[in-house]
């Protein structure tokens, strides 16, 4: 049977089909490009207020840095004052419904809710501050910096500055991150002043200004002339110390302006550059789950500026130690190391692995007070 279709019509038909296919391809490419131009929506959730000049303030400063560093590439939202309860899951679900593809769960007790919500939303990336993910979760990573490194240095400064060899430490909960910093502070102080003692008082809350003030006054009444802390906000303790004419060591943020006479130094977060790094990894599809811990040389955690009360010689000693730690020449927890009861923890020359640090449940020599069960 002969082909009765005219050649001209055949070519016109092919051209029309080709144009249709090309139009579909162009539309597909256009849609892909449009999708790529959509900014990554990033959610943050904090356990306290972002104006606390402490832990939550530092995370919010990191969020603001992220927005400024990646204009048009990220859009952020934040939910503050969310207790470590069932409320966390509700807030996370709402953030996901709003299109957030990356969520930073910043408080210790947010880990379990993040796991549960993450299991229902495998395409959303979660970044849990602190904790260790032992379940190899595909869409969750944990991050933290070795805050105990600058806290050890702050302990050295405090050990030099104390006149009574009596220091107080006000702490929220006996979880590993808190114990790391108590022990580092005490070890640092005793490395230059073996007579130094650090008495710990527990508040059992991340934030409770009245209890913190009472604990501070109690430590001062028993002879402490330096106060340090691991709480959401350092303000109450620092201001109480200043009011009573004693020294203070800060935490989470630089609050020296609130204690112009008694401020020594402290630790402070700089989360912004890390948040930019993580957001870029999500955008570039190179993000990977895991447990990430960053040393002081990363810049994500820093030694706070020295106060005017700290002599230049002590500042130089602290800065020299800082350099050694950052260059890997000195480890805060290294053998030989025993707990305050004399139990061997690390042998001569042994350095701790991540598990040792992240499961810390002991107190160092020189630390006084109880160790409550978690």
Asked whether residue 94 is domain-assigned, the answer is: yes
DSSP 109: G
DSSP-derived pairing of the beta strands 301-303 and 263-269: antiparallel
DSSP 349: T
Structural domains of the chain, count: 2
Whether residue 136 is found in the same domain as residue 205? no
Asked whether residue 51 is domain-assigned, the answer is: yes
Q: To the nearest whole percent, how much of the chain has pLDDT over 70?
A: 90
Q: Which residues constitute the domain of residue 80?
A: 37-145+272-297
Tokens of 15: 């051209």
Whether residue 54 is found in the same domain as residue 88? yes
Question: Element (H or E) spanning 58, and its range?
Answer: helix 55-69
Last residue of a domain, one of 281, 297, 313: 297
Per-residue pLDDT tens over the stretch 141-155: 999 999 999 999 999
Asked whether residue 28 is domain-assigned, the answer is: no
Q: Please give the distance of CA 65 from its chain centroid, rounded to a whole number.
A: 15
Per-residue pLDDT tens over the stretch 111-143: 999 999 999 999 999 999 999 998 999 999 999
The greatest distance separating any two alpha carbons of the chain, rounded to the nearest whole angstrom, comes to 112
Whether residue 116 is found in the same domain as residue 221? no
Whether residue 163 is found in the same domain as residue 54? no
Q: Helix, strand, or coil here: 309?
A: coil
CATH number at residue 41: 3.40.50.2300
Whether residue 156 is found in the same domain as residue 141? no
Asked whether residue 11 is domain-assigned, the answer is: no
What is the spatial distance between Cα 224 and Cα 244, in angstroms, rounded to a whole number?
Answer: 11
| DSSP for 159-183, written as a single string | HHH-SSSEEEEEES---HHHHHHHH
Q: Is the pLDDT reported for residue 16 higher than 50? A: no
Whether residue 160 is found in the same domain as residue 253? yes
DSSP-derived pairing of the beta strands 337-338 and 344-346: antiparallel
Reference 162, options 122, 194, 118, 206; nearest CA is 194
pLDDT of residue 33: 47
Whether residue 358 is found in the same domain as residue 246? yes
Per-residue pLDDT tens over the stretch 165-188: 999 999 999 999 999 999 999 999
What is the spatial distance between Cα 244 and Cα 223, in angstroms, rounded to a whole number?
Answer: 12
Whether residue 97 is found in the same domain as residue 195? no
Asked whether residue 19 is domain-assigned, the answer is: no
pTM of the model: 0.88
Reference 362, options 174, 153, 227, 156; nearest CA is 174
Per-residue pLDDT tens over the stretch 295-306: 999 999 999 999
Whether residue 188 is found in the same domain as residue 257? yes
Q: Is the pLDDT reported for residue 224 higher than 70? A: yes
Per-residue pLDDT tens over the stretch 248-267: 999 999 999 999 999 999 99
What is the spatial distance between Cα 109 and Cα 83, in angstroms, rounded to a whole number?
Answer: 9
Last residue of a domain, one of 297, 314, 349: 297
DSSP-derived pairing of the beta strands 166-171 and 226-230: parallel
What is the spatial distance between Cα 263 and Cα 352, in angstroms, rounded to a whole number?
Answer: 31
Reference 57, options 312, 268, 367; nearest CA is 268
Cβ atoms of 167 and 228 within 8 Å: the answer is: yes
Tokens of 37: 């131009």
Task: Name residues whose C-beta falls within 8 Å of residue 365's C-beta, 6 or more positions apart in sequence.
Answer: 186, 187, 190, 338, 339, 340
Last residue of a domain, one of 259, 282, 297: 297
pLDDT of residue 28: 54
Task: Name residues whose C-beta falls within 8 Å of residue 157's C-beta, 6 or more positions apart in sequence.
Answer: 249, 264, 265, 306, 310, 314, 318
Whether residue 173 is found in the same domain as residue 309? yes
Cβ atoms of 298 and 118 within 8 Å: the answer is: no
Per-residue pLDDT tens over the stretch 40-71: 999 999 999 999 999 999 999 999 999 999 99
Q: Helix, strand, or coil here: 185?
A: helix
> Reduced to 3 DSSP states, what percent helix, strand and coil does the chain have, rounded to the nearest 5?
45, 20, 40
Asked whether residue 4 is domain-assigned, the answer is: no
Whether residue 195 is found in the same domain as residue 141? no
Whether residue 108 is found in the same domain as residue 203? no
Question: Residues 156, 164, 342, 336: what is their CA dihedral angle, to the nearest 10 degrees?
Answer: 20
Asked whether residue 197 is domain-assigned, the answer is: yes
Task: Name residues whose C-beta falls within 8 Å of residue 167's C-beta, 6 or more positions apart in sequence.
Answer: 158, 189, 196, 197, 198, 199, 224, 225, 226, 227, 228
Asked whether residue 73 is domain-assigned, the answer is: yes
pLDDT of residue 14: 47
What is the spatial distance between Cα 318 and Cα 37, in angstroms, rounded to a whole number?
Answer: 47
């Amino acid at each position: 049977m002969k082909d009765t279709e005219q050649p001209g019509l055949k070519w016109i038909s092919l051209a029309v089909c080709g144009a249709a296919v090309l139009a579909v391809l162009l539309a597909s490419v256009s849609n892909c490009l449009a999708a790529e131009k959509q900014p990554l929506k990033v959610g943050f959730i904090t356990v306290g207020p972002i104006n606390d000049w402490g832990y939550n303030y530092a995370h919010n400063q990191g969020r603001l840095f992220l927005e400024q560093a990646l204009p048009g590439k990220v859009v952020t939202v934040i939910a503050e004052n969310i207790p470590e309860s069932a409320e966390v899951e509700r807030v996370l679900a709402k953030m996901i419904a709003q299109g957030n593809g990356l969520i930073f769960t910043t408080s210790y007790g947010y880990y379990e809710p993040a796991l549960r919500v993450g299991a229902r939303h495998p395409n959303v990336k979660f970044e849990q501050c602190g904790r260790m993910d032992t379940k190899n979760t595909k869409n969750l990573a944990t991050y933290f910096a070795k805050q105990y490194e600058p806290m050890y240095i702050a302990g050295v400064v405090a050990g030099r500055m104390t006149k009574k060899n009596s220091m107080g430490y006000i702490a929220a909960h006996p979880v590993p991150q808190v114990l790391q910093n108590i022990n580092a502070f005490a070890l640092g102080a005793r490395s230059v002043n073996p007579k130094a003692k650090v008495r710990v008082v527990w508040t059992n809350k991340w934030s409770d200004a009245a209890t913190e003030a009472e604990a501070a006054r109690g430590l001062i009444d028993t002879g402490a002339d330096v106060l340090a802390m691991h709480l959401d906000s350092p303000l109450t303790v620092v201001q109480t110390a200043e009011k009573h004419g004693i020294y203070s060591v800060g935490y989470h943020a630089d609050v020296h302006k609130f204690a112009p006479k008694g401020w020594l130094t402290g630790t402070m977060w700089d989360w912004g550059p890390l948040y930019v790094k993580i957001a870029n990894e999500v955008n570039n599809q190179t993000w990977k789950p895991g447990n990430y811990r960053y040393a002081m040389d990363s810049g994500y955690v820093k030694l706070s500026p020295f106060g005017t009360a700290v002599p230049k010689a002590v500042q130089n000693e602290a800065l020299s130690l800082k350099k050694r730690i950052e260059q890997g020449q000195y480890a805060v927890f290294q053998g030989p190391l025993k707990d305050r009861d004399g139990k061997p923890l690390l042998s001569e020359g042994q350095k701790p692995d991540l598990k040792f640090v992240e499961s810390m449940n002991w107190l160092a020599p020189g630390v006084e007070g109880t160790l409550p069960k978690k």
